[in-house]
Structure 1
Amino acid sequence: MSRDTYMRLSLPARIQRGVLLATARIPEGALAFLGRRAPVNSDGERVAPELAAIGWANDNVPGLNPFQGEVAQSRLQTDESGVSMAEVLPPLAVEEDLVLDGPAGPIPATRYRSSTESAGLLLYFHGGGFVTGSRISHDAFVRRLAHGTGLDVLSVDYRLAPDDPFPAAVDDAVAAWRFAVDVAPRWGLDPARIVVAGDSAGGNLATVVALQVRGEAVTPAFQLLIYPVTDQAADTPSRREFASGFFLTADGIDWFTDRYLPDVDQRTDPRCSPLRAEDLSGLPPAHVIVAGFDPLRDEGLAYAQRLEEAGVPVTLRREGSMIHGFVNMTLISPGARAAVDRMCARVREAMAAVAQGGPASGA
């Protein structure tokens, strides 16, 4: 069992979990009824009502929004929120806490394996705006990934801002990639079957790792990019349309960006804004997921288009009823569970293609 990903909840968080568990028992028929009055975006998509409630509470319940105030408190809130929303999932065959060698010291990580057999390795970078988030906040989701993909999952605690601003997270992510390539044979895995993946800030790191190691002897077999940050200097219609009310807000994005990239001139660097890279050719096949009610939606769409224009095999999944962060909301949201199941199926398809001697095609 992993000791590093265990967290004892405070009394308020235990109360919150009780409320969430009760919410999870609301029949889908009732959710469908409630959904008739849920907000609709400019593209005609309707948000899932249970996720609309999360967005409303984040904006209106004092002390619930983790994307403001003191960084230490925000990190605690993010971890507690992740644990409060964690599904109870079947046990894993392997849960192993590790320490990797990083450019500035040890990098903690945890390895998960669903069964005695594994089809490859998925290197995972958690979300949290490069400021919050951890293996704890994303423990339930990476367990779902391990079960759903049949791959080992290596979840990495890269350095966070403002203690360690850009490019510390990038340097740690690349170091974690090199560790994964080196350790895969010892785990009985083929280094040619490694997926880079992440959500939000972690999706950004996955894209940047793929760019940083392009042309090397071993490169990722596939990219799983879940509502990724791709342009730190973006001003898109989705950032304006969903500036408030849907969990991640414009103020929250500014709070993260100011801490990760205090030097405004760095915000167009392709190592933090991969959408601004001049050349995206030669990258691994990718699957990009965007949420219909997410300020980051448009830059995810734009990145998928840039990959396609560069000749990279890419598939795009638009989860129209979802909000930012939905992979951590599967306890209460049937739609989020279905979306995660779809992304796991896409990874399985990609790895099956690699096993047959071809690329992990986006087709």
Structure 2
Amino acid sequence: MVPSDVSNLRERARQRAAARPPAPALAHVGDLRGPCGLPLRHYRPHERRRPLMVFVHGGAFVMGDLDTHDRTCRRIAAACDVEVLAVDYRRAPEHPYPAAIEDVAAILRWSAPAAVAGDSAGGYLASMACLRLRAAGDPLPAVQILICPNTDLTLSWPSVVDKGTGYALDADFLSWAIAQWAPDLATRALASPLLAPDLHGMPDTLIVTAEHDALRDEGDAYAHRLTQAGVRVTHRREPGLVHGFIQDVSSETAAAHDRLFRDVASLIHR
């Protein structure tokens, strides 16, 4: 049984998504099932086929679904001229580490996309799935796109303290969410992409962090480590913004969205 606090979080996330402005109309939006019956949603901006991006939604490992990020997926498809395949992976606490990583890796093997993208916990899952594919010798997407990603489950970077109160992502909530995902403390370092001993051979990477985000420092550090490993990285820290800005449709985030979409399109169509 799902704890009541988790059920309430999920319902509030759905309500917030329903209150956002309507999403762009696309040529095709359809639900389907992937490996092991995983729910997926496919977005195509035009009738003609375009490069495919797998999108992994955020939600602190415990919430979020195809509906909470529907608007974001539609905007990416329309603005970046790509097809988007959104994944409704298994969530904690019912399905802790590594269930969602296995789900995302299975979809990447099955769909062979040009890119994989994710926000917050979704960025973590996207990168961990790429590490899993690399370890197995399986083909990788050409590009990974990580938006305000969680990369260090140990939460040991200064921004967790400096930006973890009074902004969009609270440090106490973040600690609770990671405990749902990885309840065994001993697994958290091993399950952190930033702490992987070797990052060679990872896909070309776009990492966008936000100035007032508790996860800012670990995202910045991951960009640095990937660069040191010889990965081609595009990295930008968005000034004045908070965690989750990709879901915000206010005028304050419009320019950052435009920059993100331009980078995504450039990387995928390169």
| TM-score normalised by L of structure 1 | 0.71
- Identity between Structure 1 and Structure 2 (%): 39
- Alpha-carbon distance in structure 2 between the residues aligned to 1:301 and 1:198: 16
Aligned to 1:234: 155
Does residue 75 of the first structure (1) align with residue 10 of the second (2)?
Answer: yes
Does residue 169 of the first structure (1) align with residue 100 of the second (2)?
Answer: yes
AA at the equivalent of 1:305: H
Name the stretch that deviates more: 247-256 or 344-353. 344-353
* Superposition deviation, residue 328 in structure 1: 0.9
Larger Rg, first or second structure (1 or 2): 1
- Alpha-carbon distance in structure 1 between the residues aligned to 2:219 and 2:23: 30
Does residue 342 of the first structure (1) align with residue 259 of the second (2)?
Answer: yes
Does residue 141 of the first structure (1) align with residue 72 of the second (2)?
Answer: yes
Contact 1:159–1:169 (CA<8 Å) still a contact in 2? yes
Aligned to 2:19: 84
Match of 2:140 among 219, 228, 246: 219
- Alpha-carbon distance in structure 1 between the residues aligned to 2:157 and 2:140: 31
Contact 1:119–1:351 (CA<8 Å) still a contact in 2? no
| TM-score normalised by L of structure 2 | 0.95
Contact 2:53–2:116 (CA<8 Å) still a contact in 1? yes
Name the stretch that deviates more: 304-313 or 253-262. 253-262
Deviation track 1:256-305 (CA, whole Å, cap 9, x = no partner) reads 01111111111111xx3100100001111101000000000000000000
Count how many residue pairs are aligned between Structure 1 and Structure 2. 267
* Superposition deviation, residue 217 in structure 1: 5.4
- Alpha-carbon distance in structure 1 between the residues aligned to 2:229 and 2:188: 23
> Where in structure 1 are there 5+ consecutive unaligned residues?
1-67, 182-190, 354-363
* Superposition deviation, residue 78 in structure 1: 1.0
- Alpha-carbon distance in structure 2 between the residues aligned to 1:150 and 1:311: 28
AA at the equivalent of 1:96: G
AA at the equivalent of 1:276: L
Correspondences of 1:131-280 after superposition (within 5 Å): 131-181=62-112, 194-214=114-134, 216=137, 218-269=139-190, 272-280=191-199
Match of 1:312 among 231, 235, 242: 231
AA at the equivalent of 1:296: L
- Alpha-carbon distance in structure 1 between the residues aligned to 2:85 and 2:139: 17
Deviation track 1:84-119 (CA, whole Å, cap 9, x = no partner) reads 12x3233111111011123xxx21010001112343
* Superposition deviation, residue 213 in structure 1: 1.5
Secondary structure of the structure 1 residue equivalent to 2:122: helix
CA RMSD, Structure 1 to Structure 2 (Å): 1.5
Deviation track 1:49-107 (CA, whole Å, cap 9, x = no partner) reads xxxxxxxxxxxxxxxxxxx971011111111112212x3233111111011123xxx21
Secondary structure of the structure 2 residue equivalent to 1:321: strand
- Alpha-carbon distance in structure 1 between the residues aligned to 2:18 and 2:256: 20
* Superposition deviation, residue 340 in structure 1: 1.8
Contact 2:145–2:206 (CA<8 Å) still a contact in 1? yes
Contact 2:44–2:50 (CA<8 Å) still a contact in 1? no
AA at the equivalent of 2:56: F
- Alpha-carbon distance in structure 1 between the residues aligned to 2:139 and 2:47: 25
- Alpha-carbon distance in structure 1 between the residues aligned to 2:75 and 2:254: 10
> Where in structure 2 are there 5+ consecutive unaligned residues?
none
- Alpha-carbon distance in structure 2 between the residues aligned to 1:308 and 1:118: 32
Aligned to 1:120: 51
Contact 2:109–2:139 (CA<8 Å) still a contact in 1? no
AA at the equivalent of 2:18: V
* Superposition deviation, residue 208 in structure 1: 1.0
Does residue 95 of the first structure (1) align with residue 29 of the second (2)?
Answer: yes
- Alpha-carbon distance in structure 1 between the residues aligned to 2:138 and 2:246: 33
- Alpha-carbon distance in structure 2 between the residues aligned to 1:164 and 1:267: 16
- Alpha-carbon distance in structure 2 between the residues aligned to 1:125 and 1:159: 11
Secondary structure of the structure 2 residue equivalent to 1:245: coil
